[in-house]
């Protein structure tokens, strides 16, 4: 019902979203852009192809001024005042398509982006657990000879097994390695052959080109499921890596979501005066933590225009009941 109401309201949104957009800044976030079939991503991320991505950028450019990291900070400080509202383009997870596909498009269009990475996966040392799940689901869908013991208990069909795999969380991630053995999926071989992640040298080249490389935690846990001690451990470990390699260590983007993250984390995070801000991914919303900015997921299906109009409509709907600001405890 909620989606139906939002879709109806979005249809009546102004074509000039530069005026109707409720915030002064727009923070789109993507993970990957590719025209290829990517087994390690396709079942967990609805990534866009190059045509769709360029259409999004062209649409955003009509109504927003794309900025780089310094301009973003200057804008927030009030020392940079462009004629349009601003947009800061962000990517997560450090997939190699950012270097191979995205950056050539951005260089042609003169647009900056910051990629928030997990050092545990850089140089293809390991594969994020959700990517492992995607590879396993791909194997389930293609494999006609699945071991009988995988269909014991409640998992009696391929679809049930698929859903089970996709529900496996960070704390249960070792289960994915056990399933890989049964399904004869070799994660290390996939990492070696496909090399889904960027390498340290490529990250340094991106920095030299003027793009941002920043923090997305060490290995992509959901922060709301971690203790404060574990939250700070994975965050600090990542900042050490960034500083050692002269990457952008002034910001942090939550993996998955910042839902359930309490004030005590932000209090600890911003004790480090080098950290300028953090980023969530809850769409067009304000946050009670003034230095935590919410980004707009752009891989939800549909065009950028459609997604943004739905976000605006939802913001207005939530505003009626005073629920368009995330309040931390």
pLDDT digits (tens, 9 = 90+) for 37-71: 999 999 999 999 999 999 999 999 999 999 999 99
**C-alpha triplet 109, 37, 202: angle, nearest 5°:** 50
Q: Once rounded to an integer, what is the mean pLDDT over residues 199-213?
A: 98
148 and 84 inside one domain:
no
CATH number for the domain harbouring residue 288? 3.20.20.370
End-to-end Cα separation, the chain, in angstroms: 29
Quick check: 75 and 52 in contact, CB under 8 A? Answer: no
Which of 174, 192, 210 terminates a domain? The answer is 192
pLDDT value of residue 322: 85
Ranges 31-45, 122-136, 148-162: which has the least confidence: 148-162
Say what percent of the chain tops pLDDT 90: 86
Query: What is the domain range of residue 299?
Result: 2-12+27-35+48-120+198-326
DSSP notation for 231-275: HHHHHHHHHHHHHHTT---SEEE-SS--TT--HHHHHHHTTSTT-
pLDDT value of residue 108: 98
Q: Once rounded to an integer, what is the mean pLDDT over residues 238-246?
A: 97
The whole-chain average pLDDT of the chain stands at: 94
**Count of domains in the chain?**
2
């Amino acid at each position: 019902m909620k989606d139906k109401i939002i879709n109806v309201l979005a249809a009546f949104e102004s074509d000039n979203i530069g005026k109707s957009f409720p915030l002064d800044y727009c923070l789109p976030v993507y993970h990957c852009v590719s025209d290829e079939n990517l087994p390690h991503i396709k079942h967990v991320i609805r990534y866009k192809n190059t045509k769709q991505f360029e259409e999004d950028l062209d649409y955003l450019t009509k109504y927003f001024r794309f900025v780089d990291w310094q301009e973003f900070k200057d804008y927030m400080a009030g020392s940079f005042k462009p004629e349009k509202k601003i947009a800061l383009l962000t990517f997560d997870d450090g997939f190699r398509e950012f270097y191979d596909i995205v950056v050539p498009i951005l260089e042609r269009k003169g647009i900056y982006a910051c990629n928030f990475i997990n050092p545990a996966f850089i140089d293809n040392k390991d594969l994020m657990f959700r990517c492992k799940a995607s590879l396993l689901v791909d194997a389930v869908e293609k494999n006609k000879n699945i071991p009988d013991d995988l269909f014991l208990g409640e998992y009696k069909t391929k679809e049930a097994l698929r859903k089970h795999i996709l529900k496996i969380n960070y704390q249960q991630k070792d289960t994915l390695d056990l399933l890989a053995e049964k399904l004869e999926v070799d994660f290390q071989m996939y990492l070696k052959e496909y090399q889904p992640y960027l390498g340290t040298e490529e990250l340094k080249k991106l920095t030299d080109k003027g793009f941002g490389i920043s923090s997305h935690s060490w290995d992509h846990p959901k922060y709301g499921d971690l203790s404060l001690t574990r939250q700070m451990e994975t965050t600090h470990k990542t900042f050490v890596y960034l500083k050692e390699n002269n990457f952008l260590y002034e910001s942090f983007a939550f993996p998955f979501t910042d839902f359930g993250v309490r004030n005590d984390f932000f209090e600890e995070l911003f004790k480090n005066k080098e950290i300028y801000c953090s980023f969530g991914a809850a769409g067009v919303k304000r946050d009670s933590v003034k230095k935590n900015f919410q980004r707009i997921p752009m891989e939800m299906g549909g065009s950028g225009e459609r997604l943004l109009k739905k976000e605006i409509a939802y913001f207005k709907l939530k505003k009626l009941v005073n629920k368009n600001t995330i309040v931390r405890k």
